[in-house]
């Protein structure tokens, strides 16, 4: 016990050293004792050899071939979302597209990760959507939960705090429901020995990981694939509606596809569209779903930039600060996708998913889902903001997850 050194650096060269060049000295993340039992044994909280083993076992779930196969699920659920957008367009009224994106991403991750066919997009009373929304709306953290704060200050109290959390808070009860539902799915798949489906659970079951690790990692994938991607889609849609010139330029790029009405047939071309990629990167630069630190624990003494990092030192690289830094970006608060076309950018200045061997394992899956959803939406609809819209969205930050209460837009079908 006792005080620990914590170093925060916004220097992108330091970030490169810590995350990649001297990764062997910074292999671990800071231990998050306040995490619930549903996440404590997931890959996000693992260390050393255990993390390396899990990463090696889980990486095949997000191979190029697997992600391409998962794109069919995204298109299937986008068909449903398009029907709902047409319904809203006919009304001529503004609606909360953020809520629809949450239902979309929950439907997609439920199918791609667990092989579950949910009705989250169409059913207003979908229990999966209700509990996921409740959990994230009141996601506990040391900043907003006295129980979690107590577990951080006095780690010995963590088991008691966790027990109370799951019983007296709405978020805790929803977490219990989600974890139990997923554990039942996994238990059924383990008993039947079914590893033939093209989903993440099949990879987990074939990995040799223990049951608890499989359940914990499954829960982590659900959370990561639900809230972060819907947040990225919501803010990107708001930016495009606020900047009709960017929206038009992206629309023209989509119309240059061989058959824009059959986007599902052009997976490779859509993934490689330069302006779509620039919009994706610029939207996540301005509104990264994870706003806190890329954190690492120094596991071996080393020197970076003349500073000695001793074993046990906690290191934080503040994502939001770097992505909005005037030292790194020209006009950092402006939405300018062209910045990713006109000149090479330092990859360590763009860190929504972290970087290096411990970067987000689902990064390419999230990118695929984002690009398909935006391409399918913009190829059919013009997006605009209601006349009474404020210049900036109100932002909330729960356990480092960026969010906003709602994103109101108006959809208008494009004339062919």
Residue pair 215/179 in contact by the 8 Å Cβ criterion: yes
Q: How many helices (H) and strands (E) does the chain have?
A: 16, 10
Name the phi and psi angles at 297, rounded to 5: -110, 130
Tokens linked to 287 = 């509104």
Residue pair 392/93 in contact by the 8 Å Cβ criterion: no
Name the 3-class secondary structure at 329: coil
Looking at the DSSP bridge assignments, the partners of residue 297 are: 28, 314
Tokens linked to 398 = 């729960």
Is 360 annotated to bind a ligand? Reply is yes
Tokens linked to 233 = 């889609």
Residue pair 284/349 in contact by the 8 Å Cβ criterion: no
Q: How many CA within 13 A on the CB side of residue 318? A: 11
Which residue bears the tokens 């999966």? Answer: 128
Binding site members: 360
Binding site members for heme: 360
């Amino acid at each position: 016990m006792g005080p620990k050194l914590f170093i925060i650096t916004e220097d992108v060269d330091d970030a490169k050293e810590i995350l990649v060049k001297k990764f062997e000295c910074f292999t671990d993340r800071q231990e998050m004792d306040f995490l619930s039992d549903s996440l404590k044994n997931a890959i996000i909280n693992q260390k050393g050899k255990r993390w390396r083993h899990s990463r090696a076992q889980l990486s095949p779930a997000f191979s190029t071939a697997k992600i391409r196969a998962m794109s069919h699920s995204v298109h299937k659920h986008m068909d449903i979302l398009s029907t709902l957008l047409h319904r809203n367009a006919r009304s001529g009224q503004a609606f909360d597209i953020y809520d629809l994106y949450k239902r979309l991403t929950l439907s997609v991750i439920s199918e791609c990760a667990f092989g579950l066919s949910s009705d989250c997009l169409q059913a207003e009373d979908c229990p999966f959507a209700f509990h996921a929304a409740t959990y994230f709306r009141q996601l506990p953290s040391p900043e907003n939960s006295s129980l979690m704060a107590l577990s951080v200050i006095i780690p010995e109290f963590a088991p008691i705090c966790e027990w109370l959390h799951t019983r007296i808070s709405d978020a805790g009860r929803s977490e219990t429901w989600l974890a139990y539902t997923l554990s039942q799915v996994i238990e059924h798949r383990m008993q039947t020995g079914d590893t033939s489906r093209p989903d993440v659970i099949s990879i987990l079951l074939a990995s040799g990981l223990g049951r608890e690790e499989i359940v914990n990692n499954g829960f982590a994938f659900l959370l990561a694939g639900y809230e972060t991607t819907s947040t990225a889609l919501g803010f990107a849609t708001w930016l495009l509606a606020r900047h009709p010139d960017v929206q038009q330029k992206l629309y023209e790029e989509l119309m240059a596809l061989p058959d824009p009405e059959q986007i599902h047939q052009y997976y490779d071309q859509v993934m490689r569209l330069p302006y779509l990629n620039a919009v994706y990167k610029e939207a996540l630069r301005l509104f990264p779903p994870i706003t806190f630190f890329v954190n690492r624990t120094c596991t071996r003494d080393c020197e970076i930039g003349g500073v000695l990092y001793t074993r046990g030192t906690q290191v934080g690289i503040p994502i939001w600060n770097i992505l909005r830094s005037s030292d790194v970006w020209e006009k950092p608060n402006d939405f300018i996708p062209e910045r990713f076309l006109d000149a090479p950018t330092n990859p360590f200045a763009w860190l929504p998913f972290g970087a290096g061997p411990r970067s987000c394992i689902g990064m390419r899956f999230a990118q695929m889902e984002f690009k398909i959803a935006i391409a399918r939406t913009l190829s059919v609809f013009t997006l605009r903001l209601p006349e009474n819209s404020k210049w900036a969205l109100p932002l909330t930050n729960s356990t480092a997850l960026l969010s906003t209460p709602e994103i109101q837009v108006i959809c208008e079908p494009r004339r062919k």
